[in-house]
Chain A
């Protein structure tokens, strides 16, 4: 009987091999049923089975290690296969970097060398080391670049943290990590005009999408704005607007080189605030992600660029590495030969510098006549509500477990994915300690329906973490 893959990757236990040995001896005419437990024959065969099992358990790894569907199950094999067969190196983990502001109230200036200053977030324990050398000037503020102690996505401390201090204090010096007010404005479309955000936001966070509703120059083109995925509000034919929807956010349109500068259906999107982090830390590329890159490798043989090739390029940028954890490639719905490449990282949208690095890497590799444009999605705040009945004694554990499960689920929803009501209901119901869930009360952003993010020409991912407004009833 022909050997199957399923058989090869099943693995064999010591007991299974022992039973096989007994069956072989029985078939050879030996009185195996008369062999006593603890006796010479059974003991001898058990020793052989133990030795054989050590040898035999290489078989699943040998069989599955070179198949990308199975290699992630065998540590080290995906990297080996990637390097030897596909000439791909696993993306290493990346260090988080960001700008921390040192405010020196003293009249003493402090010189520092690389790694001599260590900033710590006391709530997470994450430490960051100063990059390069310099001086903290007296009686003023100095912006300093810090890098995480270790590479990885866990170094994702929020902006404006109250827990940030120097490990070794300098008299008169305090640290802050303010966010900048706005992310880079992401433009999808063919217009040459620019949209700039300004003002001091009065909201803690918001996503804004400007949509051009009729073409023209600034002050002639009409446009609308949408806050946090809500209904579009017409702004009219104005070149600027202050205090959008009472948020303190101001928007200004500036003409570009072409006329009209603002083209119908173009979108301009940005978030507020932008985090203090300028380089998002990321974990080493997982075997699953590496396997997916390997599957797109053959596309590089072609003379014509396919979606697989742009995916491979966007996820293989040497200076970016594992920071890109999601990539979607779609042809533009309006512009001939334009390819939209949307990238995101482990913490969501990527910083402008990373997006620029990916674009720079792809540009010389674009197909003739292709117009590849790399962007990062905007985010939409997700609020999950509902009424859950739990056992009183398990209230804390159950509510924490539900929060973790829902956070993980939202984190798994990709660019332009769908947040499914049924999945949320299932996760809550599956949590230990839950007695009942009032299904009709479960909503996503106020609606008892699936929420599909983004659309044609619009690329959105869920903001993380979601807001979980569950009402708990104990019994």
Chain B
């Protein structure tokens, strides 16, 4: 709704001796204009509470007020859509559906939740911000026990409560241990190629140039990380060798240099010193976000046993398959993410 500004009001006052002359007209660009500027600020201040109208540096606080975290690569428009409808998201809080959705937004896509009593949960597609995404929940049955699972010896150190149930063979199950009654437990698995926050990479584009700057998809905590130059794709020029300029290394990127100008691309991967695998290397800020998401969105009475990343091959029990039906076992690598999940 347009309104008359103070500048306009002053310049049109029916007081000829005050506003008719050039100085009078210019006076409208003085204190009336400053009042107009303050009014703009006041208007902006009132709208800080409204996601569609808030300054971008207020979105984080608006999210905090709603228990929502903007993913590192989540666009503002997507996050605003979620801010405007926290009700749907929170209505599903405590369910695997919503935990999966929140993990997705937080840049932990592709998660599979496995539950001790035989079910696995995942999303069949990308959720829509601010919408009811219950239709995306995929529930599958885990592999079955080949033989009965008996509990630990009664009242032993591992079985202080006295679990007594033997789970029959043929029951879909995820075996964390022999605490057969402790079914309020789950784990989060990221199948091979999960990428996201677990893999830091970039593709450098050279356009008839010998240098190309790249920005990592995940921010490092410091500059001590390791960089591996991968495949070089040349469309013109070359052959070339490519390395990185250590003087340009920052927590967010680096500049690559080629032995000669060329046109093409170079895949690069980076990981922290001591990382078990470049494909399961989670940075501290990302780990903090992962822990917060799991603690906040799981059911209070459930225990997250752990988070695992399948770097390659298979993990016993996932994906569900019949023993002997194929799959890579000899070179399988599963990385356990160390964190606090309760």
Q: Identify the A interface with B (CB < 8 A).
A: 2-8, 17, 20-21, 24-25, 27-30, 45, 48, 52, 55-56, 58-60, 62-64, 66-70, 189-190, 214-215, 260, 263-266, 294-296, 298-299, 301-310, 329-331, 333-339, 367, 369-372
Contacts and interface: CB of A to CB of B under 8 A. Distances in A.
B15 interface: no
A331 B342 contact: yes
Interface in B284-320: 295-303
B234 interface: no
A339 B301 contact: yes
B30 A28 contact: yes
A296 B67 contact: yes
A30 B93 contact: no
A58 B41 CA distance: 10
Interface string B226-269: 00000000000000000000000000000000000000000000
A339 B184 CA distance: 11
Contacts of A335: 161
Interface stretch (B32-40, B125-133, B271-279): B32-40
B42 A338 contact: no
Interface stretch (B44-52, B135-143, B215-223, B322-330): B44-52
Interface in B94-128: 94-95
Question: Sorted from nearest, which 5 A-B pairs have the closest CB atoms?
Answer: A304-B94, A264-B160, A63-B45, A302-B93, A215-B155
A5 B91 contact: no
Contact of A63 (B44, B92, B155): B44
Interface string B73-94: 0000000000000110011111
A3 B55 contact: yes
A337 B184 contact: yes
Interface of B: 23, 26-27, 29-31, 33-35, 37-38, 40-42, 44-46, 48-49, 54-58, 61-62, 64-67, 86-87, 90-95, 155-157, 160-162, 181-184, 295-303, 342
A298 B90 contact: yes
A240 B222 CA distance: 58
A396 B31 CA distance: 57
Contacts of B40: 3
A337 B161 CA distance: 13
A21 B34 contact: yes
Contacts of A298: 66-67, 86-87, 90, 93
B178 to A, nearest CB: 13
Contact of A302 (B23, B56, B90, B162): B90
B61 A8 contact: no
Nearest to A335: B161
B312 to A, nearest CB: 32
Nearest to A265: B160
B94 A62 contact: no
B229 to A, nearest CB: 39
Nearest to B23: A30
17 contacts: A24-B30, A25-B29, A28-B26, A59-B41, A59-B45, A62-B46, A67-B49, A215-B160, A263-B160, A265-B160, A301-B87, A304-B94, A305-B299, A307-B300, A337-B301, A367-B299, A372-B300
A307 B155 contact: no
A339 B303 CA distance: 10
B91 A303 contact: yes
A304 B49 contact: no
B94 A306 contact: yes
A303 B41 contact: no
B30 A30 contact: yes
A305 B162 contact: no
B55 A67 contact: no
Given A4-B55, A304-B95, A331-B184, A190 B161 contact: yes
Given A303-B94, A336-B184, A295 B162 contact: no
A388 to B, nearest CB: 35
A305 B300 contact: yes
